[in-house]
């Protein structure tokens, strides 16, 4: 066998520049040079920086539900990632550590856990009569008595009453796990009844005194007598599970800003009864059922809802806005909502014949405001728009006033638009339910994660049981903004609707200049088709989510823009009212008759007591207030003049033949065009048959 010699040769020999690169690489391998801007040898601070970055990356990966598949319950605790041995937790006794881990993971002696795995012999309720839940340890009546509560470690100002308060307190305990062990020892949560059964010789009287439980109650429970709440459950209209589901539904709506009306609760109760599938079906709940149900549920109460207009002054309450951002963040973390799965939708209304206020050029001799002649039709149209945080938008859902659909409306419209009708052009509960179906149709296939988050306001059409149930079935999370904060927190209001209204107003002005003195539904739809792509750009949409602090999350974007940092005011006494009157009179310019009278009273009081510089300030404010009143009167007179001019119909546009193709409901443009074509074909066939005869 001949000798074989192998010699390495560069693969790019004789190629210009590459041989030089090889020589430089060889030189670098023999004697590395110091990287620019970095030390040749690693330093302690550099190693710490790298370690910190690696820890942050590992922590983010650990808490990412898409990677680690952790349960929503576990992720809500926001526990820090520990690369080292958790010495504090491991220092606990095994029973205490087991109970701590059971609460953190919700896998333990809890009602839902036993029901999930069909543990028929398990006890689902605590000795207090309430279901066993991971948070019940700090909500139970026997651990929150005054005598026991005084001894709590890291005691809060008041015993927790809600799940959020219970979660917050447990997080405080887990900062030092020995505090959790002390809590178990002080409250004796796991040892009241079980300790007696394990040691029957123990005195019932001493045990009752130790845990602040009436002796008679303890004796009856030990002899197997059930609480009255459980005995009466068989006589109630709804079963305990049905009542629990109903309570959870109410609390969930209330947490999201949609407290249901009494009639909504009754309707949902009847729905639960009908879902049993019994033959014959159960009778609906009675007229007194609601009051008895509220009395039997300590978590619920009835209150009169406040009119939204009365809350305008508190709309910029920083506490409410901070709570809103906290709710959004908790919802996103709990359900793993991604940025590209966040939506905002809202209605906006148009008086289809009213032009926008704009700056115009007039003669210098003109006195007062310039008048722009505009069409006379003030018919109302509602457009429901929805935008996504990534910068795209859904096809619109337009609601016209009327009872039937006309074929002429659909000429030239995009095929994916939806048009509905109502008596006055406003949104109804039925149309709101149709819209959420429209939303699901256009967003389900574009969902990046599992859940979609829909930001909305408190309109009644968004709070119906049907709307909420449909969202729950299709994994759509809805969050309601605080009342009267849409100008701060709603992306559509912040970045889209104002330019949309201005653009439509300019379209109407242009039509008026061209001699169109009557604007109808067809003109509106034509103009709306032109202006939507101009307004709903990716830049505008993303700017709206940024300005409202939603994507990326930035509450400071909103909090820093508040005019006045307000806090909710408690009920005021007479002294408070006087102080408020003086403060308002000293610092604010009146804008209403009531404020003007208040300023006058303050001025009179100041003149009576003394005459100094604040009096002069008040006089100037009073003069400014009078000027505002006169300017408002001028504006109102001009508006009345324009309204009278608009009410005189000048020239009616040539009306198209009205072809009714549907009555009520909603139609997609493609469906409507098919119906119109079919109706026209029938008319032509009928006319041809008559001509033959």
- The percentage of the chain sitting over the pLDDT mark of 90, rounded to a whole number, equals 16
| CA 410/CA 660 separation, integer angstroms | 12
Say if CB 460 and CB 430 are below 8 A apart. no
536 token code pair: 């709903």
Confidence of residue 317 (pLDDT cuts 50, 70, 90): confident
- Higher pLDDT among residues 371 and 551, named by residue: 551
Neighbours of 285 (CB within 10 A): 19
Q: How confident is the model at residue 536 (pLDDT cuts 50, 70, 90)?
A: very high
Which DSSP state fits 667? E
**What digits encode the pLDDT tens for the residues 601-612?**
666 666 654 444
What are 473-519's pLDDT values in tens digits? Answer: 999 999 998 888 888 899 999 999 989 988 888 887 777 766 666 77
pLDDT at 424 over 60: yes
Helix/strand number for the chain, H first, E second: 30, 9
Which of 159, 133, 162, 157 minimizes the C-alpha distance to 148? Answer: 159
- Would you state the pLDDT for residue 315? 59
Phi, then psi, of 115 in degrees rounded to 5: -65, -35
DSSP letter string over 117-183? TT-TTS--B-TTSSBP-TTGGGT-TTTSSHHHHTT-TT--SS---SHHHHHHHHHHHHTSHHHHHHH
pLDDT range class, residue 88, cuts 50, 70, 90: confident
Query: Which residues is 406 bridged to in the sheet?
Result: 660
Q: How far apart are the first and last CA of the chain?
A: 108
Let me know if 99 is exposed, middle or buried by CB neighbors in 10 A (0-12, 13-18, 19+): buried
Please check the confidence at residue 122 and state whether its pLDDT lies above 70.
yes
Which of 416, 420, 389, 384 lies closest to 403, judged by CA? Answer: 420
DSSP secondary structure string for all residues of 285-303 = P-TTHHHHHHHH-TT----
Phi first, then psi, for residue 666 (nearest 5°) are -130, 155
Answer yes or no: is pLDDT of 423 > 80: yes
Which pair of structure tokens corresponds to residue 306?
Answer: 């406040």
User: How would residue 440 be classed by pLDDT, with cut points 50, 70 and 90?
Assistant: very high
Q: Residue 420: is its pLDDT beyond 80?
A: yes
Q: Comparing 544 with 29, which gets the higher pLDDT?
A: 544
Whether residue 213 is predicted with pLDDT greater than 60 in this model: the reply is: yes
Q: What percent of the chain has pLDDT over 70?
A: 64
Contacts of residue 323, defined as CB under 8 A and 6 or more positions apart, other chains included, come to: 482
Confidence of residue 332 (pLDDT cuts 50, 70, 90): very high
Section 421-435 average pLDDT: 89
What pLDDT score does 256 carry? 67
pLDDT of 388 higher than 90: yes
Domain extent listing, the chain: 87-190, 236-296, 319-358+368-559, 594-658, 660-692
Mean pLDDT of 404-412: 86
Residue 579 has pLDDT above 50, yes or no: no
- Mutual orientation of helices 177-187 and 94-105 as an angle, nearest 10°? 100
Asked if residues 589 and 624 have their Cβ atoms less than 8 Å apart, the reply is yes
pLDDT higher than threshold 60 for residue 7: no
Q: What is the dihedral of CA 128, 129, 134, 138, to 10 degrees?
A: -30
Please check whether residue 529 is in contact with residue 386, taking contact to mean a CB–CB distance below 8 angstroms.
Answer: no
DSSP state at residue 561: T
- How far is 566 from 589, CA to CA, in rounded Å? 18
Lowest-pLDDT range of 385-399, 498-512, 528-542, 658-672: 658-672
294, 302 Cβ separation under 8 angstroms = yes
Parallel/antiparallel/unpaired status of strands 476-480 and 380-388: unpaired
632: its two tokens:
């408002």
The whole-angstrom separation of Cα 127 and Cα 140 is: 9
Give pLDDT, residue 211.
59
Quick one: average pLDDT of 292-301? Answer: 83
What are the DSSP calls for 235-287, one per residue?
GSSS-HHHHHHHHHHHHHHHHTT-PPPHHHHHHHHHHHHHTT--SSPPPPP-T
The pLDDT tens digits for 148-191 are 888 888 889 888 988 888 888 988 888 888 888 888 888 877 76
d(CA 405, CA 693): 33
Q: Which residue has the higher pLDDT, 291 or 41?
A: 291
Look at 673 and 63; give whichever has higher pLDDT. 673
In CATH, what number does 319-358+368-559 get? 3.30.420.10
Q: Can you give the pLDDT at residue 313?
A: 47
Q: Which residue has the tokens 């279901």?
A: 131
Q: Report residue 437's pLDDT band, with 50, 70 and 90 as the boundaries.
A: very high
Phi, psi of 663 (to 5 degrees): -120, 115
Question: Taking all residues of the chain, what is their mean pLDDT, rounded to a whole number?
Answer: 74
Phi, psi (deg, nearest 5) at residue 526: -65, -45
Q: Which range, of 41-45, 135-139, 445-449, averages the lowest pLDDT? A: 41-45
Q: Are 535 and 500 within 8 A, CB to CB? A: yes
Best-predicted range by mean pLDDT (220-234, 307-321, 385-399, 488-502): 385-399
Sign of the Cα torsion 378, 383, 389, 395 reads negative
Task: Identify the pLDDT of residue 426.
Answer: 87
Which residue shows structure tokens 């059409």? 461
Cα–chain center distance at 30: 62
pLDDT at 583 over 50: no
The set of residues, in sequence order, having a beta carbon less than 8 Å from that of 229 and lying 6+ positions away, is 129, 296
């Amino acid at each position: 066998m001949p000798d074989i010699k192998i010699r390495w040769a560069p693969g790019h020999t004789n190629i210009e520049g590459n041989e030089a690169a090889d020589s430089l690489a060889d030189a670098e391998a023999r004697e590395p040079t110091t990287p620019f801007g970095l030390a040749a040898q690693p330093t302690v601070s550099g190693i710490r920086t790298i370690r910190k970055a690696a820890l942050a990356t590992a922590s983010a990966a650990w808490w990412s539900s898409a990677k680690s598949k952790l349960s929503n319950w576990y992720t809500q605790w926001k526990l820090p990632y520990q690369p080292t041995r958790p010495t504090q937790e491991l220092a606990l006794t095994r029973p205490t550590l087991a109970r701590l881990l059971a609460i953190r993971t919700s896998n333990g002696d809890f009602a839902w856990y036993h029901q999930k795995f069909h543990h028929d012999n398990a006890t689902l309720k605590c000795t207090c009569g309430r279901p066993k839940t991971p948070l019940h340890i700090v909500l139970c009546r026997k651990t929150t008595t005054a005598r026991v509560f005084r001894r709590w470690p890291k005691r809060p100002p008041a015993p927790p009453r809600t799940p959020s308060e219970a979660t917050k307190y447990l997080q405080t305990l887990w900062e030092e796990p020995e505090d959790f062990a002390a809590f178990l020892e002080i409250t004796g949560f796991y040892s009241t009844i079980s300790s007696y059964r394990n040691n029957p010789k123990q005195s019932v009287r001493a045990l009752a005194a130790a845990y602040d439980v009436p002796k008679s109650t303890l004796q009856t429970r030990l002899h197997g007598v059930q609480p009255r709440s459980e005995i009466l459950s068989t006589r109630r209209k709804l079963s305990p599970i049905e009542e629990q589901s109903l309570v959870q539904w109410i609390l969930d709506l209330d947490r999201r800003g949609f407290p249901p009306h009494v009639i909504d609760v009754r309707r949902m109760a009847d729905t639960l009864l009908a879902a049993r599938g019994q033959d014959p079906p159960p009778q609906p709940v009675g007229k007194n059922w609601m009051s008895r149900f509220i009395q039997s549920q300590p978590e619920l109460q009835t209150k009169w809802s406040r009119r939204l207009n009365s809350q305008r002054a508190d709309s910029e309450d920083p506490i409410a806005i901070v709570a809103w951002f906290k709710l959004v963040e908790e919802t996103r973390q709990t359900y793993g909502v991604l940025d590209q799965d966040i939506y905002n939708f809202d209605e906006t209304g148009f008086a289809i014949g009213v032009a926008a206020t704009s700056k115009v050029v007039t003669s210098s001799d003109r006195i007062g405001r310039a008048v722009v002649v505009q069409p006379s039709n003030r018919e109302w149209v509602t457009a429901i728009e929805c935008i996504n945080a990534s910068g795209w938008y859904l096809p619109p859902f337009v609601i016209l006033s009327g009872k039937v659909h006309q074929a002429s409306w659909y000429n030239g419209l995009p095929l994916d638009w939806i048009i509905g009708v109502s008596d006055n052009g406003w949104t109804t509960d039925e149309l709101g339910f149709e819209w959420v179906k429209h939303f699901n149709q256009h967003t389900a296939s574009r969902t990046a994660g599992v859940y979609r988050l829909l930001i909305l306001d408190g309109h009644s059409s968004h709070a119906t049981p049907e709307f909420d149930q449909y969202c729950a079935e299709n994994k759509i999370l809805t969050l309601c903004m605080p009342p009267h904060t849409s100008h701060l927190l709603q992306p559509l209001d912040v970045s889209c609707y104002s330019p949309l209204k201005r653009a439509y107003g300019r379209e109407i002005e242009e039509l008026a200049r061209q001699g169109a003195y009557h604007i109808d539904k067809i003109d509106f739809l034509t103009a709306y088709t032109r202006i939507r792509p101009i307004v709903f750009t990716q830049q505008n949409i993303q700017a709206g989510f940024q300005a409202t602090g939603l994507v990326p999350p930035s509450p400071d974007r909103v909090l820093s823009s508040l005019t006045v940092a307000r806090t909710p005011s408690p009920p005021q006494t007479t002294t408070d009212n006087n102080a408020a009157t003086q403060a308002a009179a000293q610092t604010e310019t009146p804008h209403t008759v009531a404020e003007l009278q208040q300023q006058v009273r303050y001025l009179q009081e100041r003149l009576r007591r003394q005459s100094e510089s604040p009096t002069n300030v008040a006089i100037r404010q009073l003069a400014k207030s009078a000027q505002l009143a006169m300017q408002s009167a001028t504006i109102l007179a001009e508006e009345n003049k324009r309204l009278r001019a608009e009410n005189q119909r000048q020239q009616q546009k040539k009306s198209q033949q009205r072809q009714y193709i549907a009555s009520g409901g909603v139609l997609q443009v493609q469906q409507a065009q098919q119906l119109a074509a079919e109706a026209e074909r029938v008319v032509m066939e009928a006319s041809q048959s008559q001509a033959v005869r």
